[in-house]
Chain A
Amino acid sequence: MSTILIIDDDPRFRTQARDLLEADGFIVIGQAADGASGLEAAQSLRPDFVLLDIGLPDVEGFEVARSLAIDGPPPLVVLTSSRDARAYGRRLSNGHALGFIPKERISGAAIRALVDRG
């Protein structure tokens, strides 16, 4: 069973994502509403995965992913957004994240597909 931390400022999304991922066998060990508290939570909870929104209120998801990668051992970061990949281009493949899944496609299967691919 993999643990996952959800970082997103929209509480409704966090609930929906938690429901879907738990239904798919993930353990949601924490939730955070912005980049700063997300980093703290990751530090203390040490999740296997982080589901990370790109459009956070305080700092961009890309920055959070970079910070997470510095403090070892890094969790596997899954970037997400209500925009699709076309809005971000190569920034999505800068090496700090496992991959990108648009929000409406979030599922345990989609995350596992990224792991298998990466």
Chain B
Amino acid sequence: MVRTLSAPRATTTVNWVRAVLLIAAGTLGLGMLVGNAQRGPITLGTVLEILVGWTFVACGIFLWARRPANRLGPLMTTVGMLWLLGRTMTLVSIPVVYTAGLWLTDLWGAGFAAFLLSFPTGRLTSRADLAIVGIFLFVTVPLEFLWLLFLVPANGLNALGLAADPNAAQVIDRIQRVLISLGAVLLVISLGWRWLRSSGPVRRQMAPVLVGAVAILLQSASWIFLSSGTSLDLLDDLIFVAQIAIPIAVLSVMLRSRMARAGVADLVVELGRTPTPARLRDALANALGDPTLQVAYWSSTEDRFVDAAGEPMDLPEDGTRQAVTLLERNGVPEAAIIHDAILLEEPGLIASVASAMRLAVENDRLTAEVEAQLQEVRASRARIVEAGDLERRRVERDLHDGAQQRLVSLSLELQVARRALGDGGDPAVRRSLDRAAEEALSALAELRDLALGIHPLILTESGLGEAVESLADRTSVDVSVDVGADRYPPAVEGAAYFVISEALANVTKYAKATKAVVRVRGLDDHLSIEVEDDGIGGADPRSGSGLRGLADRLAALDGTITVVSPTGGGTRISAQIPIIRPTPAPV
């Protein structure tokens, strides 16, 4: 994947600086070649030595040009220039130049340590890393100065050699070598620790700097054990080769994304299982090979990032070892992945992982939304049934208070009139009054049937048991009732009553049954209802609106109804109604 650069264009001045540095490095390298040639035949070591400087400068300048915002390019260039400058100057037979050359050659070590530790941002962030570079600087600046004061070089060229004392110089040299070795050990520990704790992509990225750290350790070790003046050309050459390979490897890591995508595939699979926040973090850490990875979630109520437990969480600042990849939706942050800054060099990988996580976050959000809507629909369905029940009660009461009372009154008035006539009066009027009284009575009876069908008062007044007894009394077949006197929430009693009422109506109308049984059991959390008859069976719950409507009514309470009606084998209707109702949503 090609990374598109969004950094500002380098100014012409910077381009000039880089061009001059490149030419200077070339010239210095050639100078080294010439200077060494004057002293004897050119060895492989000399060529490698020049190549180390050139590689650092070339790779540094290339990185600097391609990634102007990253400090690593200029740092690599500086390290290369120190190398070339110092080593060329030690070939010049002028005391000041020679002495400065010695100094710069050793100062190179501090630059190299800083380069390794500041990978990949070019910035030193942790105190430990600053301290390690500090050790190198201490050795190469004040101690170096002290050493130069006493040094008596073989060629006699020491501009600083004020108090020539070979013994003092050697002691200081020993101290320098031990300290450098210590710094190198710490350098390896720091980078090695970071490498050990990482996996996959991060490890692959860190490989070159780790090799560099090992190289510096080997070199300092060789200085200690070979300090008697002997030199191990092969080891030196090997270290040179390593030092040539490091900047090339770093450059290639920085500019090319070549990460395996297997981790991302695993991540997508894991995300498909809607993982817990902890598992999501682990999956992300795995995919990115970064065990320090954290996930922060945006809390719109607190207007800040929080962790999975809802505790406030601060994002790391720019330029530290950690970087933040934000997941946004319509410009509003949703989540943030906090990961090792090295991964910024793998923009393709980060983008894939972020996309996968965005899908998961979006999925969670939609699921929560649908769940909330479903809850709301359930609650509103329950409220509709409840409102319907209330309305039925109101209509029944209105019928009672109004039309029913008036028909009673009319009926009584007609009887009073008929009684007043006695056997006297016009027989036609007497017959008419009798008929009117009969009419009034049957109108009243019909109205009462209607009112009872709309809402049985006995259910609210006396409960399910008595209401079902009353139903059974009015059913033409023999019904045995086993209900009990317990009371339940009105909606539950209402639903149960209408199930039993409809079932008994079917027994009378279709089943050709001789007897039926009604059983109601109040269990811990639900009411269990059974209506059984010994009729012809063959009832189809899908045909006819009666049972269908009941199923809807029960579903509104999260209840269920089952009809078992084999032909010739009777009919058994069972229903379950939860007693704890779903919490109604606020209106």
Contact = CB atoms under 8 A, between A and B. Distances in A.
A103 interface: yes
Contacts, number: 71
B444 interface: yes
Nearest to A89: B466
B440 interface: yes
Contacts of B407: 104
A1 to B, nearest CB: 18
B458 A20 contact: no
A16 B458 CA distance: 27
A87 interface: yes
B404 A82 contact: yes
A61 to B, nearest CB: 12
Interface string B442-485: 00110010011000111001100011011000100000000000
Nearest to A82: B408
Contacts of A89: 458, 462, 466-467, 469-470
A90 B466 contact: yes
A91 B462 contact: yes
B452 A86 contact: yes
Contacts of A83: 400, 404, 448, 451, 457
Contacts of B448: 83-84, 86
A71 interface: no
B415 A107 contact: yes
Contacts of A88: 457-458, 461-462
Of the candidates A88, A89, A91, the one having the most CB atoms from chain B within 10 angstroms of its own CB is A89
Contacts of B408: 13, 82, 102-104
Contact of B469 (A84, A90, A107): A90
Interface string B414-425: 011001100000
A102 B404 CA distance: 12
Contact of B440 (A12, A19, A84, A104): A104
A102 B123 CA distance: 99
Majority-rule SS of A interface residues: helix
B412 A16 contact: yes
Interface string A9-26: 010110011011001000
Nearest to B417: A19
B416 A86 contact: no
Contacts of A69: none
Contacts of B469: 89-90
A106 interface: yes
A28 to B, nearest CB: 14
A68 B412 CA distance: 27
B461 A82 contact: no
Contacts of B405: 10, 82
Nearest to A18: B416
B415 A20 contact: yes
B458 A17 contact: no
Contacts of B121: none
B452 A106 contact: no
Nearest to A24: B419
Interface in A26-61: none
A31 B456 CA distance: 31
B158 interface: no
Contacts of B411: 104
Contact of A13 (B409, B440, B466): B409
Contacts of B461: 87-88, 91
B416 A16 contact: yes
Interface in A62-90: 82-84, 86-90
Contacts of B415: 20, 104, 107
Nearest to A103: B408
A13 B416 CA distance: 11
A106 B414 CA distance: 13
| Shortest Cβ-Cβ A-B pairs, 8 listed | A104-B411, A16-B412, A89-B466, A87-B457, A82-B408, A103-B408, A89-B470, A23-B419
Given A83-B448, A86-B448, 5 more contacts: A23-B420, A83-B457, A88-B462, A89-B467, A104-B444
15 contacts: A13-B408, A16-B412, A16-B416, A19-B419, A82-B400, A82-B404, A86-B470, A87-B461, A88-B461, A89-B466, A89-B467, A90-B469, A103-B408, A104-B411, A104-B440
